Structure 1
Amino acid sequence: MAKTNPGRFFEDYQLGEVIDHAVPRTLSGGERALYHALYPARHALASSDEFARACGLPAAPLDDLVTFHTVFGKTVPDISLNAVANLGYAEGRFLQPVYPGDTLHSQSQVIGLKQNSNGKSGVVYVRTTGRNQRGEAVLEYVRWVMVRKKDLDAPAPDTFVPELKPVLAPFDLAVPEGLDFTGYDVALAGEPHRLGDYEVGETIDHVDGCTIEEAEHMMATRLWQNTAKVHFDATFREDGKRLIYGGHVISMARALSFNGLANAQMIVGLNGGAHANPCYAGDTVKAWSEVLDTAETSAPGVGAIRLRLVATRGGAPFQLRGDDGKYLPDVLLDLDYWALMPT
């Protein structure tokens, strides 16, 4: 009897099934240090206990994307071990901060299935929830991933594509309990720009770039326990290249966005996202943002800003699609998210 896990293939999923993912993960200050070693992340709220306490929190939470990567990584052996590509995200809500000492585990429900016309693969839609040691939901999101079929003759399941919100409304966003930006120190945060300084339609070139290193990517995927074959095994693809984990690109772009958006302190909503083109070691990631919306929240001094974050392979800023409507070849990531910012 086989003891090893070959991973699930497209024909192994059933609509509505719930999957409890193995191996809970206790996070520590080590994850913060490694995150800041891998990415040039400098947002003050996740860097300084004293800054966080001045904003009404008990201590500095871990970077929101540490939570995302940890919860995501738990799902890989069951969802995307045999993936061709992770295709997109929607309805992502960061429900409460995660602190060193918290233990996270993940659960997913299959909410959609659609076999591709070539009969060799299909798209699996899952809604994943990450919970802490108290059973409290800290993160939920939908993602869809293209997964290979093992048996090409296996019958296709009935197609069901879920209806998803194109954008989270401001009232969908969860503001951390106690968060208060009325005494916010812009000098310590690094930039003076508050919510009222940004206009809808404004674009921001984040200027800086960072070249993706093979060793750093491999450290990141191991850190997040993301064992997808396309990231780990250079023999898995005909070109002999490992795909850079899409979350690695997200974190790199988010960190680069500090230059111009230093006060966009916490990610609270993920409206949508697409990994437009593959990223490989040696690519230099640059980023630009577009302000899509702003909103008030019920927390004192706290507003919300909706941003499009675009990562490119060194391409010119503010160019996203060609005349054919398709993403330009240098575009790596198109991410639509909400963040909290002082008013």
Structure 2
Amino acid sequence: MVEVRLENLKKYFDRGRVKAVDGVNLTIKDGEFLVLLGPSGCGKTTTLRMISGLETPTEGKIYFGDRDVTYLPPKDRNISMVFQSYAVWPHMKVYDNIAFPLKVKKYPKNEIDERVKWAAELLQIEDLLDRYPAQLSGGQRQRVAVARAIVVEPNVLLMDEPLSNLDAKLRVAMRAEIKKLQTKLKVTTVYVTHDQVEAMTMGDRIAVMNKGHLLQVGPPTEVYLKPNSLFVATFIGAPEMNIVDATVVENDGLFLEGNGFRIRLPDDFRELLEGYIEKDVLVGIRPEHMTVKGVSTLEHVTRTAEIEGLVDFVEALGTDTIVHAKVGENIIKIKIPGHVPLPIGENIKIEIDLDNIHIFDRDTEKAII
């Protein structure tokens, strides 16, 4: 296995007018499962392709350990890739699909047989080796693609949205299988996705990208609870974080005042917001960090604030209820465990967890708190 290091990595197209990747610095630890997360066009797949050698950087360096691989072809990097499309050869049986990269590298026949059976057993497709891809389900074909990728025991495994063509139930199952497989093999893995649920459940760390820039890197819980920008805050989380306009006001205490609400802040917020008194900010609150008073409680929460709202719409999801509440001119979503039959138009009191409130600079959209 190997550590992968990207230093000021850039990739420009159309004579520099399109900056697909613009100065990415990132270290992927030896044996780590790192997820590159972001919307379409953010540069994550281009970054993956540069790591693989399928794209040549405009600027910057790529290291595998101490080895500079920036301009090496893919065959000299000991990497394997799994793509969004299954990319299995329809005219070859499963055994031959998995064995293909070993045959290209001229492995001995007995070693090829051992490795194919080892990979097939790991992916639980040992009973499918004599079938053609057309005789397999989508999930089975993706397992074949993964088996073919790991059979050469690569230093780095690269995966580009490998589950996006599967149905929802199968995606959940395959997420668990891929993560367990990576943990067992301890292969350095870079996994590209736009699905924040995949990122949260699979990654040891998440690297969030947007418009060619790397915005934040950290463990899933850290990125979720302490986003460093408005983009990261709203991209991760379902339902997404509520964002409202407010003004920081000091009047016998520190307050956030907005359309239809006034929130008193604890004294320890004062130092962090010292430069923002009488200034407009953006306030973020995740739906699960609020509740409807008298209906549910915020467990293990010591500091709360209370605002009033009007029930505008209710989504009954079975395990949870999403309450859409009108607060002034704002619509705020509140996530409550269980089934909560609140009537439309009812006045409610909304309790907010102040230890999980987020405040962003209105101009830079960087996190203040």
Q: Tell me the TM-score range normalised by the shorter chain.
A: under 0.3
- What is the TM-score when the length of structure 2 is the normalising length? 0.24
Higher helix residue share? 2
Superposition TM-score, scaled by structure 1 size = 0.25
Larger radius of gyration: 2
Query: Larger RCO: Structure 1 or Structure 2 (Cα < 8 Å, ≥ 6 residues apart)?
Result: 1
